[in-house]
Amino acid sequence: MTDTTTEKAAATAPTGAVGAAPEPAPAPRTARLRRGATPWLFLLAPLALLLTFTYAPIANMVAYSFTDWDGVSPELHYTGAENYAELFTRSDLFEVFWVSGYYLAASVFQIVAALYFATILSFNVRFRNFFKGVLFFPYLINGVAIGMVFLYFFQDGGTLDAVLGLFGVETDRAWLGTPESANTSLAAVSVWRYLGLNFVLFLGAIQSIPGELYEAAELDGAGRWHQFRYIIAPGIKPVLSLTVILSISGSLSVFEIPYIMTGGATGTETFVIQTVKLAFQFNKTGLASAAAVVLLLIVLAVTWVQRRLVPDDKVDLA
């Protein structure tokens, strides 16, 4: 349920640090010029990549959102804000966001579970590295493969039914058969897949907390729960809020798993699947671009609201 956009943000991070270097005594003009240009030369490659592969396509998409382009025709007409007007006057296009509710609920469960496992495995537990691997492994599998695997898993008489049968439970239900059941099943797959990522983020944050703190806490007579409540929880707050943002934006833009497993049938269509269908089935590339822009704005707005509600203040454990 998360995205990998973080690495793009990391690429631009060094800019501030380099630009802020204090100027020494005035040097000859060429030397000064060279010194000024050096950081930019270093930045040339990452910036070129960033512009070509992130900002240019986005600019392109924004441009298309104001046209009636069908995706192939050499002709396109500027239609102004018509696509946006259509998007906001057709309620059926936004109804699909209800489906995101399933994934949102699932991501709450996912964060709690990841936090639980990360906390437990940060203490000295037997086979902890093995369990770390087990939890993280699903995240390494390609999304398409996961879709295929779980299709067999949920099949009539498939893995799930067989396993339940071992315990004497004969459900005889079509797991992807009704909208509720299908969405719940798909959200569960999503939890299975992304739990590992959240878990690793939490584990990393927990392990960056200095060990003396635990020792001191133990000397003061704090138990595991108190250690979690007063040391770990405040210590990982920034990572926690990052995870929440990623989960919300992830829930709004679910795509891979439902697209491969059900193709959006039986009430499992998400906003992104709908956008893809508009663009590539009904050749409304203009409208689909507008939908994508709107989704981007919604995710930005949610992030902004979340940052206002839970400000990212500096944590000081000492």
Partner 1 sequence: MNRRTVLAMVTGALLLSACTGTGGSSQGAEAKAADDPSKVSGTITVLTHRTDLVQDGTMAKYATEFNKTYPKVKVEFDAITDYEGEVKIRMNTENYGDVLMIPAVIEKKDYPKFFASLGTQAERSKKYRFTDYTTVDGKVYGQSPLGAVPGFIYNKKVWQEAGITDWPTTPAGFLDDLKAIKSKTDAIPYYTNFKDMWPLTQWTDVNGSVSCDEQATTRLAEGDPWADGADLRTADTLLYDIVREGLVEKDPTTTNWEASKPRIAKGEIATMWLGSWAVIQMQGAAKQAGADPDDIGFMPFPAQKNGTFCAVAKPDYNQAVNIHSEHKEAARAWIDWFTDKSGYAADNLALSPLKEAPLPDVLKPYEEQGVKILDLDDALGAEVKSIDNQSEIGIYKPDYRQDLVDLARGATKGSLDDFLNGLGEKWTETQKSLGS
**Shortest gap between Cβ of 205 and partner 1 (angstroms)?**
33
Tokens of 62: 């924004």
Of 195, 194, 190, 191, which Cα lies nearest the Cα of 118? 195
Which of 11, 174, 200, 233 touches partner 1 by CB under 8 A? 174
> By CB under 8 A, what part of segment 239-268 binds partner 1?
262-267
Q: How many residues bind partner 1 (CB under 8 A)?
A: 40
**Shortest gap between Cβ of 192 and partner 1 (angstroms)?**
18
Of 273, 278, 274, 277, which Cα lies nearest the Cα of 255? 273
| Contact flag: residue 15 with partner 1 (CB under 8 A) | no
Helix (H, G, I), strand (E, B) or coil at 142: coil
| Contact flag: residue 67 with partner 1 (CB under 8 A) | yes
**Helical residues (DSSP H) of the chain, grouped into ranges:** 6-12, 14-19, 29-50, 56-64, 82-89, 92-95, 97-122, 128-140, 143-154, 159-166, 179-207, 211-219, 224-227, 233-235, 237-252, 256-261, 271-280, 285-309
> By CB under 8 A, what part of segment 279-298 binds partner 1?
280-284
35-43, 69-77, 113-121, 209-217 -> range binding partner 1 (CB under 8 A): 69-77
Pick between residue 56 and residue 315 the one whose CB is nearest to partner 1: 56
60-68, 100-108, 186-194, 300-308 -> range binding partner 1 (CB under 8 A): 60-68
Rounded distance between C-alpha atoms, residue 58 and residue 48, angstroms: 15
**Shortest gap between Cβ of 20 and partner 1 (angstroms)?**
15
Contact 272, 295 (CB under 8 A): yes
Which of 182, 201, 232, 291 touches partner 1 by CB under 8 A? 182
Rounded distance between C-alpha atoms, residue 95 and residue 273, angstroms: 13
Helix (H, G, I), strand (E, B) or coil at 93: helix
Which of 155, 184, 303, 306 touches partner 1 by CB under 8 A? 155
Owner of token pair 């949920």: 154
Rounded distance between C-alpha atoms, residue 67 and residue 80, angstroms: 7
* Residue 76 vs residues 65, 79, 276, 285: alpha-carbon distances, Å: 11, 9, 19, 11
136-144, 149-157, 190-198, 246-254 -> range binding partner 1 (CB under 8 A): 149-157
| Contact flag: residue 184 with partner 1 (CB under 8 A) | no
| Contact flag: residue 56 with partner 1 (CB under 8 A) | yes
**Shortest gap between Cβ of 297 and partner 1 (angstroms)?**
17
Pick between residue 76 and residue 213 the one whose CB is nearest to partner 1: 76
15-23, 28-36, 61-69, 232-240 -> range binding partner 1 (CB under 8 A): 61-69
Q: Residue type at 184?
A: T
| Contact flag: residue 98 with partner 1 (CB under 8 A) | no
| Contact flag: residue 278 with partner 1 (CB under 8 A) | yes
Pick between residue 67 and residue 190 the one whose CB is nearest to partner 1: 67
Contact 117, 107 (CB under 8 A): no
Return residues touching partner 1 (CB under 8 A). Answer: 51, 55-56, 59-60, 62-64, 67, 70-76, 151, 154-156, 158, 174, 176-179, 182, 262-267, 277-278, 280-284
